[in-house]
Chain A
C-alpha cells in the first residue's frame, strides 16, 4: 500500500495538481488577504488548486456542493514566502573559483530533508532556496513551492518556457573574501564581478551578431548563459550584503550593468536607506536576536526593516534557515513590528513583498481570486508568540496539520524530528482517504 501511494505521489506531483479537489469553503475565520482590508468573519473559497473568492461571510455566496470547513476563531492568511532559505542539505559552487553562476543549486537538493517538514510547520509555502555566500557567486537559486513532492522537479516553479525558475546568488563583503583564487579585498571583489559581467555583455553581443549562423555562435558557456539571463532581466540577482559600503557597491554594479537585484540581509541598510530607496532596489531583511557573530553584522539593529520601509523601500523578510528557524518565520516579522514596522507592512513582508522579489506575485503572496490556494490557518494573531500554525495548505492540499502527531513532531521538535523522512505524510493519507 505504501508503495502504491508513493507511485501516486510521483504521478500527481508531476502534474502539479496533486490531490486537490472540488470547491471548499473555509468559513468563519478572520481573513488577512494582504491585498485589501482584513475580513473579521470571512469566507475563503477555493476550487482545486486555486482561490475562487473571499469576502465577509454574510455577503459571499457559496456554490452548491461546496464542502464547508468551519474555521471559526482562526486566522487565515496567505502561505508565507521566504526569499532566502538554505534547507534541503544544499551546496552550490565548490572551492575552485569565486564566480560559478553556471552551478544550479537544485542539483544538490534533497527533498527528503526534514527541513521541508519544519518549513511547512512554520507556514512557509514558497521558498527561494539559495546556495551559500562564500562566493562572489555560488550559483543559481531555485524557487520552490512546498507541494507534495518526490523529486526536486515536483517542487520547482517553472518559467514560461518550462525551465526551472530561480535567481542568481551573489555575495559581497567578508564571506566571499578568502584565500586565492578568491578575492582578498572589497576592491578586488568588485573588480572580479565587473570583469565577469563585461565578459557576459560581450558574450551576449557575440550571440546577437551570430544571428542564425551556427558557425559564428560562441561555444556554449554555462556561466555566460546564466549571466546573459541576468543582463536581460529574466533572472534576478539575490545579493548577500551587510555593510553600508558593500550595499553601495551593489547599487553601483546595478547602475553599470542594469540587472535586477534584491539586496539580502542588509544589516546596515539603515545607514543608506535613502540611497537604496532612490535606486528602487527591494530589500530582503533578516532580523536576528543580536548583532555580531562576524564583523559585517556588527551594526545589525532590530529597526532596519522599519527604517527602510519608512524611506520607501520594498521590504521582505527571510529566514536564511539555518540562521533562523523556518518554524519561527512569523516571529521575525513580529520583531519587526516591535521595532516600529507598521503591521500591514510586516504582514506583506512575509508574503506579497517577498513574492514580488521572486517575480511570483501573480501567483502567490496574497489571497485573491485566481491565485494559488496557498494559505495558513493560525490559532490567533500572526504576531503573538502564543499563536500556532495549525494548518498549511498548498495549491488546495493540506501539507501540514498540527493535529497529526507526525506533523506535530516537526512543529514542536522531539525524538526523531531531525531524521530524514518521507515528505508530507499527511497528504499521502489525504490521498488515501480520497481514493
Chain B
C-alpha cells in the first residue's frame, strides 16, 4: 500500500510539473516561496505548494502550475517542510515546572513500559505553541529519560484541540534509559550499569515467556493480561522500537549488545559519544537521534560535540535532531536552533535541513505523511524570511494540514 501510494504520488508530481496541471478551485491554500526546499528533490526557485483538504495536491515551479483566481496565497522567501522534532518531551514537561504539570516521569517503579504518552499529553501547554512558532509541526514526544523503562512515546502534530485529534502514532517507541539519571542510590535498583542490563534482560525474558503462554491455544493456560509485558512483546516482535537514551560510549555499547541478544529494533537517543563507536552503530543498523547540540556539556555529556551530526553523516548512520528533555531553563529547546548549530559545524545546509525534516520522518516511520513536500503528503510547511538557520531570520508562518497556525514572525 505504502509503495503504491508513493508511485501514485510520483505520477502526480510528474504530471503536475510536465503538463501544468490546472489546480481545482477547491484548493484551500497556496504557498509561494522564492525558494522551496521540498526535500523530495532539488530546491525549486519561485515554487508553489498547493494544499487541498489538508494534503499537498501540487508542488512545482510557479511557471508550471496554473492557479485559478481568488485563491489565498501565502508568500515567503524560503519554504521548507514543517520541521519534525525526532525527540521531545513537550506536552508532558509543562511550562511551569511544577509538580502538577510534570508528567514525563513516574518514579514508582524502574520498569513501566505500559505508561502511555497519550494519557499524559497536555496539548494546551504553551510550549507547544512556542515550538510551533519556530516551524515545528510534528514531534515525537513522551516519557522522558530518568527510569530504566520510563514509558511510551508517541508522534503527534503540534496543533489540535485534543490529543486524539492531533496524534499520528499513539505508541511510537518504548523509552529506556542507560544513563546516570536512571540509576538510584542506597538499596534501590538499578544502582549500577550491570544491574540495569540485568533488569532489562530479565524483563525481556519474562515478556517472551508471557507471549509464549499467551499465544498458546490452551485457554486454561492463558496468563492474566499484563499491560507492561504486552508492550515489551510488541518490542520483541519488532513492531515498535526501543528508544534507548545513552550518552557515554560504554552505555551505547550496552544498548547495542541488548539489541543483538533480543533482535529488537532500537533507536539510540542522545549518544553524545557515538562518534567513538560509529563502526559498531553502523554495523548494528541502528539510527541515532542525536542530543540537542546546545545541551549542557557536563556530566555524562561532558564530551559532547557540535560536530557529532557531521561524524554520523560521514559514517553513513541515519540520524535526526531533537529538542530533547530539559529539567530547568530553558524548559524546551527549539529544533530549528539545534539544527542550525549542526549546519554551522560540519553538515551542509541541506544535510541539516534533511535531519530536521525527511530524515527524521523516515527514522520515525512517518515519511509517508510528513517530512517532505510531495503530492499526497500532509500540508505541513514552515515559512521564513531568509536562511532558516540564521540567527536573525524569522520563521514567518507555519501551516499544518493546510491551516495557517502561526502568522507572526518568530
Contact = CB atoms under 8 A, between A and B. Distances in A.
B345 A412 contact: yes
Interface of B is mostly: loop
Given A335-B391, A384-B391, A293 B326 contact: yes
* Chain A interface residue bracket vs B: 20 to 34
Interface centre among B331, B332, B389, B391 (most CB of A within 10 A): B391
B344 interface: yes
Interface string B66-98: 000000000000000000000000000011111
Contacts of B298: 322, 418
A291 interface: yes
Contacts of A386: 343-344, 390
B330 A288 contact: yes
A293 to B, nearest CB: 4
Given A292-B126, A385-B390, A419-B302, A414 B340 contact: no
B132 to A, nearest CB: 12
Interface stretch (A41-49, A294-302, A364-372, A390-398): A294-302
A298 B305 contact: no
A292 B273 CA distance: 29
A311 interface: no
B391 A291 contact: no
B204 interface: no
Interface in A321-365: 322-323, 325, 328, 331, 334-335, 337-338
Contacts of A335: 391
A292 B302 CA distance: 25
A416 interface: yes
Contact of A414 (B127, B275, B333): B275
B332 A290 contact: yes
Contacts of B391: 331, 334-335, 337-338, 383-385
Contacts of B337: 289
A387 B303 CA distance: 22
Contacts of B319: none
Interface residues of B, number: 44
Given A288-B329, A293-B328, A294-B329, A385 B130 contact: no
A418 B344 contact: no
Contacts of A323: 329
A417 interface: yes
A293 B330 contact: yes
Nearest to B349: A386
Nearest to B296: A322
A418 B296 CA distance: 11
A415 B326 contact: no
Interface of A: 118, 288-295, 297-298, 322-323, 325, 328, 331, 334-335, 337-338, 383-386, 388, 412-419
25 contacts: A118-B297, A288-B329, A289-B333, A290-B331, A291-B330, A292-B96, A292-B126, A292-B127, A292-B330, A293-B328, A293-B330, A293-B331, A294-B97, A294-B329, A295-B97, A297-B331, A298-B96, A335-B391, A337-B392, A338-B392, A385-B341, A385-B389, A417-B303, A417-B305, A418-B302
Given A294-B96, A383-B391, A385-B343, 5 more contacts: A295-B96, A328-B294, A385-B344, A412-B305, A418-B297
